[in-house]
Amino acid sequence: MQKFPYVTDYINEIFSREKTRLDHRLIRPFLTISFFFVRIVLVPLKFLFHRRPWGFERRLIDTLIAIGIKYLASREALELLIRHVQIEPTLYRYLLSGTPERRNGTGEILKGIDGDFSVDSIEDIVRHGLTICHDDLSYEIFDRFDKDAFLENIEFYRRTVPDDIGQYGRGVLEVNRGHSLQVFGATNVVIIVVFTITLFADFHTAIRALNSFDSDSLLLWCLKHICADDREAMIDLDFYLQSMSNRGHYNSDAFRSDPNEYLYYHIGFDEFAYELLRKRQLKAA
């Protein structure tokens, strides 16, 4: 199997095993093609008749995703998803840690960069609105990030590392272990999440969710400054530069976004960034 040198070992293993799964070969093409046609029809209708929330959408989305997590997602896929839910706000919190926008933890479950991203139960997902709250992080980091303060404190970032995500609970993995039929691997889980948002969210929320990857460009810019003295890291980071995909200008829309690439670009990139920054501490020791 292919193993990409600029991807973490963990993600390489996920990618390799994904391609051997039956659901990846048989169900993924059907979901991808269905999503393409549903999006063409549904997005214009949402624009006309469902521009703003009616009040039930977020809870419905999280309820459906929670059911899928409990009964259908593979353990490996769920672990990757929960890791991402915890890694992304941890990285953003780190980017703010040397600026005036640094704050203490709020204790709010699954809300905001300074919240508590423990996912200990299926009820947490529904009660605290995991899905859309996670997408909102990409907008919060831009609202709070200060370029000048970051550059003024660049040595602080080179001496410190992001928090350990091991501090967050993952009790939902045990729920999955006891109930799931292990039907869907990581690729299909990600596609189904995107599909669910597209189907049930209002137009404004759906577009925000599909276009919530601009923050990857901010993270990449910060990493290049932090690791400017690390030639090996800079070479790896070059492979995460914008491509001709849905993130060609770190800007997506309802018609060009590709849910298959959310796993291979966005989630994979956050995993790489987290491991790169955490390992800098070991190199310095």
| Secondary structure class of 231 (helix, strand, coil) | helix
- Per the listing, tokens 């959408």 go with 57
The pLDDT tens digits along the chain (285 residues) read 678 899 999 999 999 999 899 999 999 999 999 998 898 899 899 999 999 999 999 999 999 999 999 999 999 999 999 999 999 999 999 999 998 888 888 889 999 999 999 999 999 999 999 999 999 999 999 999 999 999 999 999 999 999 999 999 999 999 999 999 999 999 999 999 999 999 999 999 998 888 888 889 899 999 999 999 999 999 999 998 766 444 454 555 666 667 777 888 899 999 999 999 999 766 655
For the chain, percent helix, then strand, then coil, each to nearest 5?
65, 0, 30
The CB-side HSE value for 90 (13 A sphere, CA atoms) comes to 23
- Closest by alpha carbon to 83, among 14, 140, 136, 161? 14
Query: What does the pLDDT read at residue 246?
Result: 44
Q: What is the DSSP string of 104-160?
A: -----BT-STTSB----SHHHHHHTTHHHHHHHHHHHHHHH--HHHHHHTHHHHHH-
Task: Specify the pTM.
Answer: 0.93
List, for residues 44-64, the tens digit of each pLDDT value: 999 999 999 999 999 999 999
Judged on CB neighbours under 10 Å (0-12, 13-18, 19+), 160 is middle
CA distances to 51, 64, 202 from 48, rounded to whole Å, are 7, 25, 11
Query: What does the pLDDT read at residue 263?
Result: 85
Query: What does the pLDDT read at residue 173?
Result: 97
How far does CA 280 lie from the centroid of its chain? 22
CA distances to 42, 123, 208 from 52, rounded to whole Å, are 15, 26, 12
Contact 281, 161 (CB under 8 A): yes
- Per the listing, tokens 């039929």 go with 181
Contact 242, 220 (CB under 8 A): no
| Secondary structure class of 73 (helix, strand, coil) | strand
Residue 163 phi/psi, 5° resolution? -65, 160
Euclidean distance between CA atoms 134 and 225, whole angstroms:
26
Tokens, residue 22: 């039956």
Euclidean distance between CA atoms 100 and 139, whole angstroms:
18
Tokens, residue 65: 């995703």
Query: What does the pLDDT read at residue 162?
Result: 95
Tokens, residue 277: 């920054």
